Chain A
Amino acid sequence: MSKISSINDFVIKFGNVNGSGSASANQMFAKGVFRSGIPVSPKNIFPSNIQGLPTWFEVRVNEKGYLGRREGIDIAVAMNPQSYGQDVTELKQGGYLIYDSSWKRDFGRDDINILEIPLTKLCVQEFTNPKQRLLFKNLGYVGLLASILEMDKDIYISLIEEQFKGKEKLIEPNIKALEIGYKYAEENFKDLCDIKVKKSDKTEGLILTSGNDAAGLGCVYGGATVCAWYPITPSTSLAESFEKYSEKFRVEIGTDKNKYAFIQAEDELAAMGMTIGANWNGARAFTATSGPGVSLMSEFIGLAYFAEVPAVLFNVQRGGPSTGMPTRTQQSDIISSAYASHGDTKHIMLIPSDPKECFDFAVEAFDLAERYQTPVIVLLDLDLGMNDWSSKEFDWNDLNEYDRGKVLSKKDLDGIEEFGRYLDIDGDGVPYRTYPGTHPQKGAYFTRGTSHDEYARYTEDGVKNAEILTRLTKKFQTASSTVPPPIFNQEENTSSIGVIYFGSTDCSMQEALDNLQNQSIDVDAMRIRSFPFNLEVWEFIEEHDLLFIVEQNRDGQMRTLLMAEGGIIPDKLVSILCFDGQPITASFITNKINAHISGAPSVAAS
């Protein structure tokens, strides 16, 4: 029997029943590996369901820090008979299958190693509470894994103690459950598994957190005071993160009152209306949603664009409408976010690639929204938003001051003859605004979605309206020089071939670039981080003859946006597209690039 053998480099997949408490145990397994000093990338692959359907949890462990999804499973922890078939099929030759042998099964494969543990029977023997009997199976297999991977068991004991801090009664039975699996494995599976976790130091300077959690924290640091939102997967945990950190850091000493307002709106339209109302009145406000929510918010987004009201919107992208695929990941709202709404509209977009950048861009989004008095859309995706990532630590400079943009105070108003809300005084396309209630005689104006002149007066004069539209374009051009510039993989371009990518594909791209280099294929790479596109983006495209654009959508939306905004010849831009709801892998990217360069481009995109 062949056995996969590796140290600190493997993929483990858990097959569970959703609603059985498995996710937190699986999360704990991943965190234990992270605490052993090895970067991990846990991914929860879950159904649109509360209880009873198959759910999976995949963890890639990689000492080199490759965090993208990798095909092929080395260890399968199959705890759901419903999905045994799929779970066993995905397992690589020489891989390890762990299953609950309380009910024995023949899996029909003799090229894998099967580790049988009668978890249900063991838990029934040890626990009397029916709920505990079910729940503790999860920690049982975590204990088993700690043993066969030769991990430090104490790491898990301290994780249990931390998790149940304040509920001390639960610590002892949880540790007992861990020990059940650990002891069983020590007695039965000694030297059976050749995959090992060896302590390392590769997580120094890293944290394990999700993009949504990071972005919610970024909103607290960025000075947001109003969050109006409507529950929608996969963005809900972003709003909840803001609430969690606000409860911790935003309560007034003495009065116990909140320095924030957290409002669950009746729908996404209202969420956006509240966000706009609060920003109009000088508070930093945001909403978090996903594609369908953006569709509903679109009328308001246009109003904010045209009336020049700041607004921050997080769009955590998912796999399309209704339920089902929406619990899977995609980058398929590029066009609908860039041009959201009716009439001539375009919006600043920020596209982070890891939790650290989610935090930073959340902070920056408020500065940009107020500086340019316009909606800013931060584009995450389900994979980045909801899964934990081994990310760089957050950092903050205490000298940072919020950029509140061009806002006139009472004193400022005293010093000017006549206030014109939409006058381009500085020639950068950005006008001055006032908050309601600033000055008894000056600075009041009427905010309208309908056409207005420079003094915010209603007008149906088409020429006036065209002037305002032209100034809005100027404002957008001004913004292109201050939005986050692209990140280049190389100091100087050395190839005629370039790769463009963005967002959460970054991790798989880094691995793909290393693979290509090992194959002596030279490509330059650029990660786009914002829209409008900066000058550097156009220069990179100009300097290459052929460019691959890596995206997680069907239609090559970023490619379309580049062609539309820059007049790029379509032939020059070759799409590499993954849209099956799974995060893209390095081998997928490498294979596509190889195939194209060798002159045999595959017909189907994905």
Chain B
Amino acid sequence: MTYIVKPKNHHPLLEKNELGLTRRDYEGAVSTLCAGCGHDSISSAIVEACFQLSIESYKVAKLSGIGCSSKAPAYFLNQSHGFNSVHGRMPSVATGAAMANHELLYLGVSGDGDSASIGIGQFIHCARRQLNMTYIVENNGTYGLTKGQFSATNDLESKSKYGDDNLFPSIDLPSMAIQLGASFVARSFSGDRDQLVPLLKAAISHKGFSFLDIISPCVTFNNHNTSTKSYDYIREHNDSLSKPDFVPLGKEITTNYNEGSSIEVPLHDGSLLSLEKLSEDYDPKDKITAIKNIQESQRDNKVLTGLLYVDPEAKDLKEILNVSDTPLNTMGTEDLCPGSEKLTEINLSLK
């Protein structure tokens, strides 16, 4: 059995959030991923973000595809329903689920194999449809569960653990997401918790398709000297656009950025994403600048992180399809069935 339940004992003095819950209440089963896996840091950041936002776990649906990343939802938010679907198909399951009940929070966890190869079509169309969800790619540039094959996000000049050259250029998912119409696009690093937690909080609070590409080194298959997705490489080449801070709805702004150097993005739910600019020509609402910034940093062998693009006003899929504000899964016969009288009319019209 690879399912390990955590003991339930809590320290009585653990910090509590607005719901009176501790961080432990947002945890999941014990991870069975390799020790040091970047994915575990991401799970921990998700726990932290949900704790800080005082999210009710049972109002969250966690969805994933197949792969190491897709195992992760078992390791956070115990009280949420989870759906470990099929390889590369999480976006479609999330789309159906969100149409059935738009009131839940949809948290999708995918990997680079899942989203950049087998499921790239679903990723594209989910972004294009502007599904209201947070879509996380735990990006390690490799296929872990099948023991270290290159993935489509692996860089051209990178070598495998066994010395093989990667022959094909990498797919940059954030650039694609921006072009496809995703209304919140960010990149971060599993080892940079200070950046990751506020970005997760903002992504969760954003209405529309929030995409987070999180570089998450694979300690077993892709953490060697010649890898561009290793801890050392990312630490050396991380080029942060901004230092984010997230202010939930109704909270006082306490960030202490230098005057003139910050940008504030009010999100749909009234919360505020506050960013300290680290680059001069940085405007997170401008698609063209965002893509230019990403390409320039790629040219300079840097990994651009931070909030890359946001459109807080975008319509989401529910609005585009003009779906009722009452969740469809709560409707019964009286809401849905036109009844016998109408059927008699239909019969008459078919004569």
Partners in one complex: yes
Q: Mark A497-530, 1 if CB is under 8 A from B, else 0.
A: 0000000000000000000000000000000000
Task: Pick the residue among B63, B86, B94, B101 that contacts A283 (CB under 8 A).
Answer: B101
Q: Does B339 contact A (CB under 8 A)?
A: yes
| A221-B338, A300-B86 known; A444+B81 contact, CB < 8 A | yes
Q: How far is the CA of A261 from the CA of B329 in the complex (A)?
A: 11
CB neighbours of B95 from chain A (8 A): 228, 263, 270, 273-274, 277
Which stretch from B53-61, B165-173, B185-193, B264-272 is at the chain A interface?
Answer: B53-61
Q: Does A394 contact B (CB under 8 A)?
A: yes
Interface hits, A239-283 → B, CB 8 Å: 245, 249-250, 252, 255-263, 265-267, 269-283
A437 touches B333 (CB 8 A): no
Q: Does A90 contact B (CB under 8 A)?
A: no
Closest chain B residue to A250, Cβ basis? B336
B85 touches A273 (CB 8 A): yes
Interface hits, B294-351 → A, CB 8 Å: 321-326, 328-333, 335-340, 342-343, 346-347, 350-351
Q: Does A565 contact B (CB under 8 A)?
A: no
B122 touches A270 (CB 8 A): yes
CB neighbours of A492 from chain B (8 A): none
CB neighbours of A92 from chain B (8 A): none
Q: How far is the CA of A245 from the CA of B346 in the complex (A)?
A: 10
B89 touches A397 (CB 8 A): no
Q: Does A436 contact B (CB under 8 A)?
A: yes
Closest chain A residue to B96, Cβ basis? A277
Q: How far is the CA of A277 from the CA of B97 in the complex (A)?
A: 4
- Give how many A-B residue pairs fall within 8 Å (CB-CB): 235
Q: Does B3 contact A (CB under 8 A)?
A: yes
A396 touches B339 (CB 8 A): yes
Q: Does B125 contact A (CB under 8 A)?
A: yes
B94 touches A277 (CB 8 A): yes
Q: How many residues of A contact B (CB 8 A)?
A: 78
A402 touches B86 (CB 8 A): no
- Minimal beta-carbon separation of B330 from chain A (angstroms): 8
Interface hits, B1-21 → A, CB 8 Å: 1-3
Q: Does A447 contact B (CB under 8 A)?
A: yes
Task: Pick the residue among B58, B121, B129 that contacts A439 (CB under 8 A).
Answer: B58
Q: Does A35 contact B (CB under 8 A)?
A: yes
CB neighbours of B91 from chain A (8 A): 270, 273
- Minimal beta-carbon separation of A432 from chain B (angstroms): 14
Q: Does B104 contact A (CB under 8 A)?
A: yes
CB neighbours of A436 from chain B (8 A): 58, 61, 80-81, 97, 101, 104
B93 touches A274 (CB 8 A): yes
- Minimal beta-carbon separation of B146 from chain A (angstroms): 15
B96 touches A281 (CB 8 A): yes
CB neighbours of B98 from chain A (8 A): 277
Q: How many residues of B contact A (CB 8 A)?
A: 63
Q: Does A209 contact B (CB under 8 A)?
A: yes
CB neighbours of A398 from chain B (8 A): 339-340
A400 touches B96 (CB 8 A): no
Interface hits, B270-286 → A, CB 8 Å: none
B121 touches A278 (CB 8 A): no
CB neighbours of B101 from chain A (8 A): 281-283, 435-437
| A280-B93, A283-B101 known; A259+B324 contact, CB < 8 A | yes
Q: How far is the CA of A271 from the CA of B96 in the complex (A)?
A: 9
Q: Does B149 contact A (CB under 8 A)?
A: no
Q: How far is the CA of A260 from the CA of B91 in the complex (A)?
A: 19
A402 touches B333 (CB 8 A): yes
Closest chain B residue to A210, Cβ basis? B350
Task: Pick the residue among B58, B96, B324 that contacts A279 (CB under 8 A).
Answer: B96
Which stretch from A22-30, A457-465, A574-582 is at the chain B interface?
Answer: A457-465
CB neighbours of B324 from chain A (8 A): 252, 255, 257-259
Q: Does A387 contact B (CB under 8 A)?
A: no
CB neighbours of B328 from chain A (8 A): 225-226, 259-261, 278, 283
A223 touches B1 (CB 8 A): no
CB neighbours of A459 from chain B (8 A): 1, 3
Most chain A CB atoms below 10 A, which of B74, B82, B330, B346? B346
Q: Does B100 contact A (CB under 8 A)?
A: yes
- Minimal beta-carbon separation of B188 from chain A (angstroms): 26
Q: 24 A-B contacts, Cβ less than 8 Å apart?
A: A207-B350, A209-B350, A223-B331, A223-B333, A252-B324, A273-B89, A273-B92, A274-B92, A277-B96, A280-B93, A282-B101, A285-B96, A285-B100, A396-B337, A435-B81, A436-B61, A436-B101, A437-B101, A447-B84, A449-B84, A458-B1, A458-B3, A459-B1, A460-B1
Task: Name the 8 nearest CB pairs between A and B, nearest first.
Answer: A273-B92, A277-B96, A283-B100, A274-B96, A282-B329, A436-B81, A278-B96, A281-B100
Given A276-B96, A447-B82: 7 more A-B contacts, CB < 8 Å: A208-B350, A274-B99, A277-B95, A396-B343, A398-B339, A437-B104, A449-B85
Q: Which residues of B come within 8 Å of A, CB atoms?
A: 1-3, 56-59, 61, 63, 73-74, 78-86, 89, 91-101, 103-104, 121-122, 124-125, 129, 321-326, 328-333, 335-340, 342-343, 346-347, 350-351
